[in-house]
Amino acid sequence: MNPHFRERVTPDDVEHVRSIAASTSFFSTEEVELAVGLIRARLELGIASAHEFLFAEQEGHVAGFTCYGPIPRTLGSYRLDWIAVHRHFRGVGLGRVLLFATEQRIAKAGGRKVYAETSGRVQYLPIRGFYEACGYIAEATLTDFYAPGDDKVIHSKSVALVP
């Protein structure tokens, strides 16, 4: 697995983000449109949007992306807003490689810790397992956060540059 990574955002990425997020079957239509809104904000506002994107390209296709950024009023804390890999590219380790590349960019920018939050619903068990397999620790659960019976689970990981 040797994907090409790209940080530059283009107008075509609006549809890439929509297609990738929708293909996963994890996200609702509203969640997919939220991701689309973040890429549009990045295109319109640039760095002022406070959302960075990293795209993984494989076999001539945009196969996955992350969206992340610094958490205001913290020293080196970053949030991972999105990680998604198109269903045609899942199961080959691209998600791990993409996450690691994102963590390295965060560390290079002075980040020391990454926080990823997800739903506590059963549907998201594979996502929580993915984070934990990648070295994240489930630090907190906020009961009924999203809706009754839908907790928020917050994972974290310390990051450092690898020479």
Q: What is the pLDDT of residue 147?
A: 95
Percent of the chain with pLDDT over 90: 91
Q: What is the pLDDT of residue 59?
A: 86
Residue 1 has pLDDT above 70, yes or no: no
Please state the domain extents for the chain: 4-158
Q: Over the chain, what is the mean pLDDT?
A: 95
Average pLDDT over residues 134-151: 97
Q: Check residues 90 and 162 and name the one with the higher pLDDT.
A: 90
Average pLDDT over residues 55-73: 96
Nearest 5°: phi and psi at 132?
-65, -35
Record the tokens describing residue 36, joined without a space.
């689309």
Q: What is the DSSP letter of 161?
A: -
Confidence of residue 160 (pLDDT cuts 50, 70, 90): confident
Note the pLDDT tens digit of each residue in 77-126: 999 999 999 999 998 999 999 999 999 999 999 999 999 999 999 989 99
CATH class, range 4-158: alpha beta
Confidence of residue 3 (pLDDT cuts 50, 70, 90): very high
Report d(CA 99, CA 94) in Å as an integer. Answer: 8
On whether the CB atoms of residues 68 and 79 are closer than 8 A, the answer is yes
Q: What is the pLDDT of residue 24?
A: 92
Q: What is the pLDDT of residue 42?
A: 97
Q: What is the DSSP letter of 92?
A: S
User: Given the structure tokens 């992306």, which residue do they identify?
Assistant: 65
Residue 54 has pLDDT above 70, yes or no: yes
Answer yes or no: pTM beyond 0.75.
Answer: yes
Residue 162 has pLDDT above 90, yes or no: no
Report d(CA 2, CA 8) in Å as an integer. Answer: 19
